[in-house]
Amino acid sequence: MRQPKSIAKYLDRYAEAETQALETFPGIAIDNILVVPFYRETTAFPQRFVAGDLGRTQTLVIAVINQPPGPEEPQNRALADFFLQREVIWRNDNLTLCRENIEGLHWLVVDRFSAGNTIDSQYGVGLARKLGCDLAAALVARGRCNSEWIYTTDADAHLPTNYFSAQSTLGSSEASAAVFATKHISPGGNTDVYRATQLYERALDYYVCGLHWAGSPYAFPTIGSAVAIRAKAYCEARGFPKKAGGEDFYLLNKLAKLGAVSYIREIQIAIESRVSTRVPFGTGPAVEKILALANPDEHFTYYAPKVFLALRQWISHIPNIWGCIQQQENPLANLPDFIQNALNQANIDELWGHIERQIKTAGECERAIHHWFDAFQTLKFIRRLQDSCYPALPLKTCLEQAPFMQECTT
């Protein structure tokens, strides 16, 4: 089947160099491709994968073992040796394909940890994910995989038996990506870390519930451990950004403008609770900050419910804007001053100019506004309201006062 031009263009212009090494990739059966970045990780994930039902599928796991420049991490070497103890059936440059001891499972090991192959710390996990997903997209483009979906997770994830069912769940929808439900677990370690992680998890659920209640098209979690992406959309969005953190947020933000990002609650991934300094922000650093509080249950604060009420007011006003512009009226005139101020600080006048010059219909106008007021602008809007009129409250208070928590099913 001829691939869309967007995939060919991406692979030709923007994909990482490793994709060129796939010219001689052997003919193995692949139903699913899973990308996992590994940095200072044990062999726990591959051992779990082999032992579980998922290991008995025609699956290619792309293991991107990576680290920043410096002395080689002993755990990275031990993990690579674990894979290389399997039957090596192909090698090219820094790629090694190993056949697992059970039928149908293969590991494509990407060496980005040994001398000369490391990843600059400014690119970090973003480049590691991009490397793996670029390789996956290249294999899909060559017709080597029976699925158009690229799955990506992390080494601390415990994948459910229905993990690879996302494509059948989505059916013929035009979704660009899927985000799965997550639940943090305590693998028998530090109970304080587990409680802190649960607190942060409740905050993230509260945030997504607030967005959903407000009518935002960006109401989905952005957790890199729990994402599957349609290969065509991945290429149209130009892949994961080369960022040391937040790469999942930025890519999903782009993907949501290409097609719906489906939130699939029927597939739930368990994630180990742990403190991590691998990335500058996200769950690991947030948990570390919560642990530093004298009384986390009382002192951990988050966005006040009223910011989501203001967001709801703004989003519900969007369908009226086309008429305002046609009548040459101020598109924000009927909104409270504090909402207008928050939007004006984002230079929304530039959007009005774009609409006047380029947009022809009310439907196009609404899409243009939601593309401009994306997940990133939404977050900045909420933070401006927090700074100007609705200070953060203890999360416990937020959960009790929020009008949307009772009806939220996340």
**Partners of 68 in the beta sheet?**
none
pLDDT of residue 282: 66
pLDDT of residue 128: 97
Q: In whole angstroms, what is the distance from residue 19 CA to residue 17 CA? A: 5
Question: Which tokens is 95 given?
Answer: 């790629």
Phi-psi region of 157 (alpha: psi -120 to 50; beta: other; left: phi over 0): beta
Q: In whole angstroms, what is the distance from residue 286 CA to residue 267 CA? A: 25
pLDDT at 126 exceeding the cut of 50: yes
**In sequence order, what DSSP letters do the residues of 287-340 get, joined into one string?**
HHHHHTSSSHHHH-EE--HHHHHHHHHHHHHGGGHHHHHHTT--TTTTS-HHHH
Section 341-368 average pLDDT? 96
- Rg value, the chain, Cα: 23
pLDDT of residue 3: 67
Which residues are CB-neighbours of 226 under 8 A, at least 6 positions away? 153, 157, 179, 180, 181, 182, 269
Confidence of residue 288 (pLDDT cuts 50, 70, 90): confident
DSSP code of residue 407: T
Question: Which tokens is 241 given?
Answer: 């950004």
For the chain, counts of helices (H) and of strands (E): 17, 12
Distances from the Cα of 87 to the Cα of 56, 102, 107, angstroms: 17, 11, 10
Question: Which tokens is 138 given?
Answer: 């290249």
pLDDT of residue 281: 56
Per-chain mean pLDDT for the chain: 92
pTM greater than 0.85:
yes
Question: Which tokens is 279 given?
Answer: 């990335």
State pLDDT tens for residues 187-239. 766 688 889 999 999 999 999 999 999 999 999 999 889 999 999 999 999 99
State pLDDT tens for residues 304-342. 999 999 999 999 999 999 999 999 999 999 999 999 999
pLDDT at 283 exceeding the cut of 90: no
Q: In whole angstroms, what is the distance from residue 118 CA to residue 74 CA? A: 14
In whole angstroms, what separates CA 343 from the centre of its chain?
26
User: How many degrees, rounded to 5, is the angle at CA 93 between CA 91 and CA 96?
Assistant: 35
pLDDT at 172 exceeding the cut of 70: no
Host H or E run for residue 122: none
pLDDT of residue 55: 74
State pLDDT tens for residues 67-93. 999 999 999 999 999 999 999 999 999
Confidence of residue 168 (pLDDT cuts 50, 70, 90): confident
DSSP code of residue 151: E
Sketch out the chain's domains with CATH numbers.
Answer: 5-189+220-270 (3.90.550.10), 305-391 (no CATH)
User: How many degrees, rounded to 5, is the angle at CA 409 between CA 406 and CA 410?
Assistant: 115
pLDDT at 279 exceeding the cut of 60: no
**In sequence order, what DSSP letters do the residues of 219-235 get, joined into one string?**
-S---GGGEEEEHHHHH
Question: Which tokens is 232 given?
Answer: 């065509």
Section 14-32 average pLDDT? 96
Find out whether 205 and 410 touch, Cβ atoms under 8 Å: yes
Distances from the Cα of 22 to the Cα of 53, 108, 136, 240, angstroms: 28, 11, 10, 20
Distances from the Cα of 358 to the Cα of 16, 323, 365, 368, angstroms: 35, 15, 9, 10
Distances from the Cα of 105 to the Cα of 10, 46, 346, angstroms: 28, 11, 49
Question: Which tokens is 203 given?
Answer: 């905050």
Which residues are CB-neighbours of 12 under 8 A, at least 6 positions away? none
State pLDDT tens for residues 235-262. 999 999 999 989 999 999 999 999 999 9
**In sequence order, what DSSP letters do the residues of 22-48 get, joined into one string?**
GGG------SEEEEEEESS--SHHHHH
pLDDT of residue 410: 43
Find out whether 213 and 408 touch, Cβ atoms under 8 Å: yes
Sole residue written with tokens 């693998």: 187
